[in-house]
Amino acid sequence: MTKRVIVNFTPTGMIPTKQMSPHVPISAQEIIEDVHRAVEIGITMVHLHARDESNGAPTFKATVYDKIITGIRTFSKDLIICVSLSGRDFNEFEKRSEAFRLDGNAKPDMGSLTLSSLNFNQQASINSPDMIKALASEMLSRGIMPELEVFDAGMINYARYLSHKGLLPPPFYFNLIIGNIACAQADLLHVGVMLRDLPDDSMWSIGGVGNAQLSMNTLAIAMGGGVRVGLEDNIWFDMKRTKLASNADLLRRVHDIIAASDRELMPASEMRKVLLMESGNGRYGRIIRDGQRKDNIQ
Protein backbone atom coordinates (compact mmCIF):
# COMPACT_ATOMS: atom_id res chain seq x y z
CA MET A 1 0.00 0.00 0.00
CA THR A 2 1.30 3.41 -0.91
CA LYS A 3 0.92 6.12 1.70
CA ARG A 4 -0.08 8.62 -0.97
CA VAL A 5 -3.71 9.07 -2.03
CA ILE A 6 -4.73 10.35 -5.46
CA VAL A 7 -7.57 12.85 -5.01
CA ASN A 8 -9.34 13.21 -8.36
CA PHE A 9 -11.68 16.19 -8.07
CA THR A 10 -14.90 16.20 -10.15
CA PRO A 11 -16.52 19.60 -9.58
CA THR A 12 -19.32 19.79 -12.13
CA GLY A 13 -20.27 16.84 -14.36
CA MET A 14 -23.06 16.96 -16.93
CA ILE A 15 -26.14 16.43 -14.78
CA PRO A 16 -26.16 18.70 -11.67
CA THR A 17 -27.81 22.09 -12.13
CA LYS A 18 -28.26 25.22 -10.06
CA GLN A 19 -31.88 24.13 -9.57
CA MET A 20 -30.65 20.92 -7.94
CA SER A 21 -28.04 22.68 -5.82
CA PRO A 22 -26.79 26.28 -5.69
CA HIS A 23 -23.30 24.92 -4.98
CA VAL A 24 -22.81 23.44 -8.47
CA PRO A 25 -20.26 25.50 -10.44
CA ILE A 26 -21.55 26.17 -13.95
CA SER A 27 -19.74 29.13 -15.49
CA ALA A 28 -16.07 28.94 -16.35
CA GLN A 29 -15.26 31.40 -13.56
CA GLU A 30 -17.24 29.40 -10.99
CA ILE A 31 -15.43 26.22 -12.00
CA ILE A 32 -12.06 27.97 -11.81
CA GLU A 33 -12.88 29.31 -8.33
CA ASP A 34 -14.00 25.89 -7.09
CA VAL A 35 -10.80 24.33 -8.41
CA HIS A 36 -8.79 27.09 -6.68
CA ARG A 37 -10.45 26.22 -3.36
CA ALA A 38 -9.84 22.54 -4.05
CA VAL A 39 -6.14 23.13 -4.69
CA GLU A 40 -5.89 24.95 -1.37
CA ILE A 41 -7.56 21.99 0.39
CA GLY A 42 -5.46 19.47 -1.55
CA ILE A 43 -6.09 17.60 -4.81
CA THR A 44 -3.93 15.67 -7.26
CA MET A 45 -5.97 16.19 -10.43
CA VAL A 46 -9.23 17.62 -11.70
CA HIS A 47 -11.73 16.03 -14.10
CA LEU A 48 -13.43 18.88 -15.97
CA HIS A 49 -16.76 19.21 -17.71
CA ALA A 50 -17.50 22.43 -19.57
CA ARG A 51 -20.90 24.14 -19.53
CA ASP A 52 -22.54 26.65 -21.87
CA GLU A 53 -22.73 29.84 -19.84
CA SER A 54 -25.98 30.94 -21.49
CA ASN A 55 -28.04 27.93 -20.42
CA GLY A 56 -25.82 25.71 -18.24
CA ALA A 57 -25.99 22.80 -20.70
CA PRO A 58 -22.91 20.60 -21.25
CA THR A 59 -20.67 21.75 -24.08
CA PHE A 60 -17.73 20.26 -25.96
CA LYS A 61 -16.41 23.64 -27.12
CA ALA A 62 -12.64 24.02 -26.95
CA THR A 63 -13.05 27.75 -26.35
CA VAL A 64 -14.78 27.06 -23.01
CA TYR A 65 -12.20 24.46 -21.98
CA ASP A 66 -9.46 26.92 -22.96
CA LYS A 67 -10.88 29.53 -20.59
CA ILE A 68 -11.18 27.05 -17.71
CA ILE A 69 -7.78 25.40 -18.17
CA THR A 70 -5.81 28.61 -18.60
CA GLY A 71 -7.65 30.08 -15.61
CA ILE A 72 -6.64 27.13 -13.43
CA ARG A 73 -3.04 27.33 -14.57
CA THR A 74 -2.71 30.92 -13.38
CA PHE A 75 -2.60 29.56 -9.81
CA SER A 76 -1.58 25.90 -10.28
CA LYS A 77 1.10 25.17 -12.86
CA ASP A 78 1.37 21.42 -12.32
CA LEU A 79 -2.14 20.26 -11.36
CA ILE A 80 -3.12 17.36 -13.63
CA ILE A 81 -6.07 18.46 -15.77
CA CYS A 82 -8.41 16.01 -17.48
CA VAL A 83 -11.17 16.99 -19.92
CA SER A 84 -14.35 15.00 -20.43
CA LEU A 85 -14.86 13.11 -23.69
CA SER A 86 -18.30 11.89 -22.65
CA GLY A 87 -20.66 10.23 -25.11
CA ARG A 88 -23.72 11.04 -23.06
CA ASP A 89 -24.72 14.16 -25.01
CA PHE A 90 -22.34 14.16 -27.98
CA ASN A 91 -21.41 11.24 -30.17
CA GLU A 92 -19.55 12.78 -33.10
CA PHE A 93 -15.79 12.32 -33.02
CA GLU A 94 -15.14 15.93 -34.05
CA LYS A 95 -17.11 17.22 -31.06
CA ARG A 96 -15.79 14.75 -28.51
CA SER A 97 -12.19 15.40 -29.54
CA GLU A 98 -12.40 19.18 -30.01
CA ALA A 99 -10.56 19.95 -26.75
CA PHE A 100 -7.55 18.02 -28.11
CA ARG A 101 -6.86 21.01 -30.37
CA LEU A 102 -5.76 23.06 -27.38
CA ASP A 103 -2.03 23.44 -26.96
CA GLY A 104 0.53 25.29 -24.94
CA ASN A 105 -0.74 26.40 -21.54
CA ALA A 106 -4.27 25.25 -22.45
CA LYS A 107 -3.32 21.67 -23.39
CA PRO A 108 -5.12 19.10 -21.24
CA ASP A 109 -2.98 16.41 -19.61
CA MET A 110 -5.67 13.76 -19.85
CA GLY A 111 -8.97 12.93 -21.53
CA SER A 112 -11.61 10.65 -20.05
CA LEU A 113 -12.13 7.44 -22.02
CA THR A 114 -15.16 5.34 -21.08
CA LEU A 115 -14.47 1.83 -22.32
CA SER A 116 -17.96 0.73 -23.36
CA SER A 117 -21.51 1.97 -23.81
CA LEU A 118 -23.69 1.99 -20.70
CA ASN A 119 -27.06 3.12 -19.39
CA PHE A 120 -27.52 5.75 -16.71
CA ASN A 121 -30.85 6.26 -14.91
CA GLN A 122 -32.50 8.14 -17.75
CA GLN A 123 -29.94 8.24 -20.53
CA ALA A 124 -27.42 6.12 -22.42
CA SER A 125 -23.75 6.93 -22.89
CA ILE A 126 -22.80 5.58 -26.31
CA ASN A 127 -19.20 4.52 -26.75
CA SER A 128 -18.85 2.30 -29.80
CA PRO A 129 -15.65 0.30 -30.38
CA ASP A 130 -14.76 2.53 -33.33
CA MET A 131 -15.26 5.70 -31.26
CA ILE A 132 -13.19 4.39 -28.36
CA LYS A 133 -10.37 3.41 -30.70
CA ALA A 134 -10.50 6.74 -32.54
CA LEU A 135 -10.32 8.75 -29.29
CA ALA A 136 -7.53 6.55 -27.91
CA SER A 137 -5.58 6.88 -31.17
CA GLU A 138 -5.96 10.65 -31.21
CA MET A 139 -4.82 10.93 -27.59
CA LEU A 140 -1.82 8.73 -28.31
CA SER A 141 -0.86 10.91 -31.28
CA ARG A 142 -1.24 14.18 -29.38
CA GLY A 143 0.42 13.10 -26.15
CA ILE A 144 -2.71 13.14 -23.99
CA MET A 145 -3.07 10.49 -21.27
CA PRO A 146 -6.34 8.52 -21.14
CA GLU A 147 -8.24 8.61 -17.88
CA LEU A 148 -9.77 5.14 -18.20
CA GLU A 149 -13.33 5.17 -16.89
CA VAL A 150 -14.72 1.74 -16.06
CA PHE A 151 -18.15 0.95 -14.67
CA ASP A 152 -17.87 -2.86 -14.90
CA ALA A 153 -15.23 -5.58 -15.04
CA GLY A 154 -15.75 -6.11 -18.77
CA MET A 155 -14.51 -2.59 -19.47
CA ILE A 156 -11.19 -3.49 -17.84
CA ASN A 157 -10.88 -6.45 -20.17
CA TYR A 158 -11.45 -4.09 -23.11
CA ALA A 159 -8.61 -1.88 -21.82
CA ARG A 160 -6.35 -4.94 -21.95
CA TYR A 161 -7.47 -5.57 -25.53
CA LEU A 162 -6.70 -1.97 -26.55
CA SER A 163 -3.32 -2.18 -24.84
CA HIS A 164 -2.52 -5.36 -26.79
CA LYS A 165 -3.41 -3.48 -29.99
CA GLY A 166 -1.00 -0.69 -29.13
CA LEU A 167 -3.66 1.95 -28.47
CA LEU A 168 -3.17 2.12 -24.69
CA PRO A 169 0.50 1.89 -23.73
CA PRO A 170 1.27 1.46 -20.03
CA PRO A 171 1.33 2.84 -17.42
CA PHE A 172 -2.43 3.22 -16.89
CA TYR A 173 -4.76 5.30 -14.74
CA PHE A 174 -8.22 3.84 -14.03
CA ASN A 175 -11.30 5.35 -12.43
CA LEU A 176 -13.58 2.64 -11.06
CA ILE A 177 -17.02 4.26 -10.94
CA ILE A 178 -19.28 2.22 -8.69
CA GLY A 179 -23.01 2.25 -7.99
CA ASN A 180 -24.53 3.25 -11.32
CA ILE A 181 -27.90 1.54 -11.73
CA ALA A 182 -26.86 -0.63 -14.70
CA CYS A 183 -23.26 -1.37 -13.71
CA ALA A 184 -21.11 -2.67 -10.84
CA GLN A 185 -22.70 -2.01 -7.47
CA ALA A 186 -21.24 -0.72 -4.22
CA ASP A 187 -20.35 -4.20 -3.06
CA LEU A 188 -17.00 -5.57 -1.87
CA LEU A 189 -17.15 -8.47 -4.31
CA HIS A 190 -17.84 -6.22 -7.31
CA VAL A 191 -14.97 -3.91 -6.36
CA GLY A 192 -12.63 -6.80 -5.58
CA VAL A 193 -13.15 -8.44 -8.96
CA MET A 194 -12.45 -5.17 -10.75
CA LEU A 195 -9.28 -4.51 -8.76
CA ARG A 196 -8.10 -8.07 -9.39
CA ASP A 197 -8.50 -7.59 -13.15
CA LEU A 198 -6.52 -4.35 -13.43
CA PRO A 199 -3.39 -4.78 -15.56
CA ASP A 200 0.07 -4.34 -14.13
CA ASP A 201 1.39 -0.78 -14.08
CA SER A 202 -2.02 0.61 -13.07
CA MET A 203 -2.85 3.45 -10.74
CA TRP A 204 -6.49 3.60 -9.68
CA SER A 205 -9.16 5.57 -7.89
CA ILE A 206 -12.70 4.68 -6.88
CA GLY A 207 -15.71 6.94 -7.18
CA GLY A 208 -19.21 6.19 -5.94
CA VAL A 209 -22.42 7.39 -7.55
CA GLY A 210 -24.91 9.13 -5.23
CA ASN A 211 -25.06 7.59 -1.77
CA ALA A 212 -22.21 5.25 -2.71
CA GLN A 213 -19.68 8.07 -2.86
CA LEU A 214 -18.70 8.17 0.80
CA SER A 215 -18.53 4.40 1.30
CA MET A 216 -16.55 3.84 -1.92
CA ASN A 217 -14.12 6.67 -1.17
CA THR A 218 -13.59 5.25 2.31
CA LEU A 219 -13.06 1.76 0.91
CA ALA A 220 -10.55 3.01 -1.65
CA ILE A 221 -8.52 4.82 1.01
CA ALA A 222 -8.53 1.70 3.21
CA MET A 223 -7.38 -0.48 0.29
CA GLY A 224 -4.49 1.73 -0.74
CA GLY A 225 -6.10 3.44 -3.74
CA GLY A 226 -7.17 6.90 -4.72
CA VAL A 227 -10.54 8.64 -4.67
CA ARG A 228 -12.73 10.37 -7.22
CA VAL A 229 -14.85 12.93 -5.37
CA GLY A 230 -17.05 15.92 -6.15
CA LEU A 231 -20.50 17.19 -7.02
CA GLU A 232 -20.44 15.44 -10.39
CA ASP A 233 -21.20 12.15 -8.62
CA ASN A 234 -23.14 13.29 -5.57
CA ILE A 235 -24.69 16.61 -4.52
CA TRP A 236 -25.59 15.50 -0.97
CA PHE A 237 -23.41 15.57 2.13
CA ASP A 238 -25.36 13.01 4.17
CA MET A 239 -26.90 9.64 3.35
CA LYS A 240 -30.37 10.87 4.34
CA ARG A 241 -30.08 13.70 1.82
CA THR A 242 -30.92 16.47 4.24
CA LYS A 243 -27.87 18.68 3.52
CA LEU A 244 -26.60 19.78 0.13
CA ALA A 245 -22.82 19.56 -0.10
CA SER A 246 -20.34 21.96 -1.55
CA ASN A 247 -17.26 20.64 -3.29
CA ALA A 248 -15.18 21.97 -0.41
CA ASP A 249 -17.34 20.00 2.08
CA LEU A 250 -16.73 16.76 0.20
CA LEU A 251 -13.01 17.36 -0.15
CA ARG A 252 -12.49 18.27 3.50
CA ARG A 253 -14.30 15.10 4.57
CA VAL A 254 -12.11 12.98 2.30
CA HIS A 255 -9.03 14.61 3.80
CA ASP A 256 -10.30 13.76 7.30
CA ILE A 257 -10.59 10.10 6.24
CA ILE A 258 -7.14 10.17 4.65
CA ALA A 259 -5.62 11.57 7.85
CA ALA A 260 -7.50 9.06 10.05
CA SER A 261 -6.12 6.28 7.85
CA ASP A 262 -2.54 7.52 8.36
CA ARG A 263 -2.18 8.34 4.69
CA GLU A 264 -1.48 11.59 2.85
CA LEU A 265 -2.24 13.36 -0.41
CA MET A 266 -0.32 12.36 -3.54
CA PRO A 267 0.96 15.58 -5.14
CA ALA A 268 0.47 16.03 -8.86
CA SER A 269 4.24 15.99 -9.36
CA GLU A 270 4.46 12.43 -8.03
CA MET A 271 1.58 11.16 -10.16
CA ARG A 272 3.14 12.79 -13.22
CA LYS A 273 6.38 10.87 -12.64
CA VAL A 274 4.69 7.51 -12.11
CA LEU A 275 2.52 7.91 -15.23
CA LEU A 276 5.45 9.16 -17.37
CA MET A 277 3.79 12.51 -17.93
CA GLU A 278 5.32 15.88 -18.63
CA SER A 279 6.28 17.79 -15.50
CA GLY A 280 3.77 20.65 -15.79
CA ASN A 281 4.90 24.26 -15.55
CA GLY A 282 4.34 24.82 -19.26
CA ARG A 283 4.75 21.20 -20.42
CA TYR A 284 1.58 19.11 -20.31
CA GLY A 285 0.30 15.71 -21.31
CA ARG A 286 2.19 12.46 -21.51
CA ILE A 287 5.76 12.11 -22.72
CA ILE A 288 5.56 10.86 -26.30
CA ARG A 289 7.94 8.09 -27.19
CA ASP A 290 8.65 7.09 -30.77
CA GLY A 291 7.21 3.61 -30.25
CA GLN A 292 3.94 5.04 -28.94
CA ARG A 293 2.95 7.18 -31.91
CA LYS A 294 -0.23 6.56 -33.86
CA ASP A 295 1.59 5.42 -37.01
CA ASN A 296 3.05 2.48 -35.08
CA ILE A 297 -0.32 1.07 -33.96
CA GLN A 298 -0.95 -2.50 -35.08
Helix axes 129-142, 153-164, angle to 10 degrees: 50
Beta strands in the chain (DSSP E): 4-5, 7-9, 45-48, 50-51, 58-59, 80-83, 110-114, 118-119, 124-125, 145-150, 172-178, 202-208, 226-229, 264-265
Q: pTM above 0.85?
A: yes
Helix axes 212-222, 247-260, angle to 10 degrees: 30
* Whole-number pLDDT of residue 123: 86
* Whole-number pLDDT of residue 295: 42
* Whole-number pLDDT of residue 204: 98
Residue 223 pLDDT greater than 80, yes or no? yes
Residue 293 pLDDT greater than 80, yes or no? no
Burial of 240 from C-beta contacts in 10 A (0-12 / 13-18 / 19+): exposed
Sign of the alpha-carbon torsion through 274, 177, 120, 132: positive
* Whole-number pLDDT of residue 290: 61
* Whole-number pLDDT of residue 294: 44
What is the DSSP track for 144-212? -EEEEEESSHHHHHHHHHHHHTTSSPSSEEEEEEE--TTS--S-HHHHHHHHHHPPSSEEEEEEE-TTH
* Whole-number pLDDT of residue 297: 40
283 strand-pairing partners: 280
Count of structural domains within the chain: 1
pLDDT band at 288 (very low <50, low <70, confident <90, very high): confident
Residue 117 pLDDT greater than 60, yes or no? yes
Residue 274 pLDDT greater than 90, yes or no? yes
Is the distance from CB of 6 to CB of 45 less than 8 angstroms?
yes
pLDDT (tens digit, 9 = 90+) per residue, 244-263?
Answer: 999 999 999 999 999 999 99
* Whole-number pLDDT of residue 121: 85
Domain of 88: which CATH number?
3.20.20.70
Helix axes 153-164, 188-197, angle to 10 degrees: 10
Range of the domain at 108: 4-296
